[in-house]
Amino acid sequence: MHDDKEGFLYPVIDTAVCIDCGLCEKVCPVLNQNNVRKPLQVFAAKNRNEIQRLHSSSGGIFILLAEQIIQNGGVVFGARFDKNWEVEHCYAERIEELQPLMRSKYVQSRIANTYKEVESFLKHGRQILFVGTSCQIAGLHKFLRKDYDNLLTVDFICHGVPSPGVWRKYLEEIISDKSSRSEVAGKNSVLLSTKNRPLRAIKIRFCCPQYLMRMIL
């Protein structure tokens, strides 16, 4: 996978080792579009736990589903920030590991090897919850090439993911700014820095739906 000029990851085939099996094209959700389907039923719901809801981006349903899966011995896959404040997919097997997976991250996440990890857990009989964008969910199902009764996938209404390159550039500009600043792209944010200490973000929060973002450094 290689970055394009906007920072989006795209596959690049190593022709020196390619055996022309065509499998990559067979599992591509863009080349192999699913038939259009209408929902059987539509529900509206919200988490009654106000604390969990306040730590969520919207209704707080993810944490309820995730806790149930883990209590049943399952594994939860979702998106979190890595140490460089870029977004990656990972999995959690304990309830205390779910917090980084909560809230929206308006940046394309790196899937890396999570599809293989999902397949391995499924074959060992573990119940799986995988949360991602619609194209990530479609990609997972194409990769698996079969249905699993122990797999629950959850996507969300998506209108495209912003450029990881723009996000990376924004972080670099914030970190390189040696002056103290406040009200950064959001509300009540304070960025603290000194000449001898680089800025280090300790919390980033995207606010739906206006794409406002709070950073505490």
| DSSP letter assigned to residue 186 | S
SS3 state at 195: coil
What is the pLDDT confidence band of residue 190, given thresholds at 50, 70 and 90?
very low
Per-residue pLDDT reduced to its tens digit, 154-164: 998 877 888 88
Give the H/E segment covering residue 67. Answer: helix 61-71
CA distance 119 to 125: 10
**Pick from 85, 97, 107: which is nearest to 174 by CA?**
85
pLDDT value at residue 131: 96
Residue 92 has pLDDT above 70, yes or no: yes
Q: Which residue has the tokens 């929060």?
A: 205
CA distance 208 to 193: 28
| Single pTM value for the model | 0.81
Per-residue pLDDT reduced to its tens digit, 39-78: 899 989 899 999 998 888 878 999 999 999 999 999 999 9
Residue 168 has pLDDT above 80, yes or no: yes
Q: Which residue has the tokens 């406040």?
A: 182
Instruction: Copy the structure tokens of residue 136.
Output: 């990530």
Question: What are 93-101's contacts with CB under 8 Å, separation 24+?
Answer: 94/70, 95/66, 95/67, 95/70, 95/71, 98/63, 98/66, 98/67, 98/70, 99/55, 101/62, 101/66, 101/76, 101/131
